[in-house]
Structures are given as C-alpha cells and as structure tokens.
Amino acid sequence: MSTQLVGFVGLGALGTHMARNLALHRATAGLSPLLIWNRTVAKSQKLAEDLGLNKVRVAETLEDLATECDVVITNLANDAVSKDVYGVFVKAVKASAPKSRIFVETSTIHPSFATELKTLITALPSTQFVASPVFGSPPVAEKAQLILLMSGEPEPVKEISSILCPAVGAKVLEMGEDIEKAPTLKLIGNSFILGSLEILAECQTLAEKTGLGAQGAQNLAKIFYTPPLCAYGDKMLNHAFDGSQGFSLNGGIKDATHVQSLAKTHGTPMPALEAARVHLVKAREIHEREIAVGKSGVGVLDVASLVTAVREEAGVAKNH
C-alpha cells in the first residue's frame, strides 16, 4: 500500500461524488484510504459508513487533515469559505513538522483569489499549490466524467493529474504555470451556460407572449443547442428548479459576479451575462417571497430558475 496520504475537504453536491470515486479508485489500486473532512460531520460519517474504513477515514479536525496528508484537495462553496479553510491549513502546517505537501483547489473561484491562495500556500516550506476547477454536474461527477482544468508548476500538476484522472475525471486540460488561467477558463465556461440560459428564458417567454408557446421555442432550441443546455430549457418549461443536484442559483450568482469583475478589469462588456446575473438575483427574491407564504418546497434553486424573473417582468404566469 502506498504511504502517500490524500485528503479531501468539502462534501457538497459535487464533492461527495468526487471523494467517493477517489476513495474507490485508491482502494482498487491498493493505495491508502482517503482522509475526509466536512463541516457537517454527518456527511463524512455517512461516506465512511457507505464505503468502509479500509477506503475512507474521517479526520477529526481540518488541522489533522492538513498535517497528516501529503496531498489535500478542496471543493468548497465560495471564495469566503475557501479563505477560511486555507487559513486553518496554513496555521496547522506552520505548527507541524516540515514535509512536502500539495494543496489542490477544485472550487470555482476568482482568478485573483487563486493567486492569493498560491502566495499563502507556497510561502510554507516544501508546499505547492494547484488550481484545478472542474466542469460537470453532480451526475457527471458521479460517473467520474468531470473535465479537470489545471494550472500550476509542472511537477505538482503532473502528480495531481495522475491522482484525479481517471479517478474523478475523464480528461485533464493543462493550462500552464500561470495559476489564474484555469480559474479564468472555468468562469468563461460558466459564462457560456449562464448567457445561454438568459437567451433561453427570454425566447421562451417571448414565444409564450406571442402565442407560439414556450414549448415551440424549446423545440427550436433543441436544434441549435447541446443536450445539457436543452435540459435547462426543459427545467424552465416544467418549473423544475430543484438545484440540489445541479448548478445552484447561488453558485450562478457568485460566478456571474466574478465574471463581471473579471470583464471590468479587462474592459470587456458582457451585457448578456449581466442580464443573467440580474435575473438570478431577482429569481432568488421571488423564491424567498414564495417561501414566506409557504408556496415553495425547493430548498436549493437551480440556475434555470432565472426564467421566473424574466416571466414576472413580462407578466407571464410561472407555470407556462
């Protein structure tokens, strides 16, 4: 059994599948169990119970995971959470015996924050940092078919590629040594999605108001768009906005805000994305109103729910 210890932090909708697949792959290859940690301890315990202690061990604290492991992989909700977690890592590593470590951030974060994390981590002795955001929904992650973007120094990128692919991903796209490249491409990729959803929502709503019907617009969209984007259109038609296993509305707002910041820095207007961001925020407000009067049974909204804001502005009932 390999003596290299790998840790995973963050068992959300995506991270749970990533950790599960990584643990199973390592066990099949005769490697050491995956050490995991999650803020909600019950999620860690459940994964350990499901897979067995020969595949997964639960770290008592973040500090324990950071000091024990040679490789630490994180998948977290947003930049603020990531900043808190990496702050704990740094304090723990400073207080521990020096050894070679690689920290890998797979969350979708602002490119400048990736530089901040790299500076923080690489200031520690013998410690390296790789930015590796991923493309793919939870069902894609469950099948270990994620696309992994990676930027960082060649040696740690090569090592992390071998750990994560094919264990959790189908393909690695190496983006070079500039740590900001992978997070930038990830945000641009999500801009494709969010901008397309805005157009889908607008066209379905216009089709409804002109008497053609939203279904007619969706049928046409299926000629032009890829199946994943068309699936969002179907969600809009059916008011199926459970985001617990998809691209969450809050995640969409976070990403759109990051992209607009990046676009402003580089002098690139993105009106379609801004329209999507505004409608995502308004969709959240609509959802909060529905919760207040007991009309919503959905806890986590999907980004497809932005259509509710477009419909409301146009005076179209939500069930159309």
Query: What are the residue numbers of the active site?
Result: 186
The DSSP secondary structure of 210-278, one letter per residue, reads: HTS-HHHHHHHHHHHS-HHHHHHHHHHHHT--B-TTS-BHHHHHHHHHHHHHHHHHTT---HHHHHHHH
Residue 126 has a CB neighbour count (10 Å cut-off) of 11
Residue located via tokens 């992989």: 73
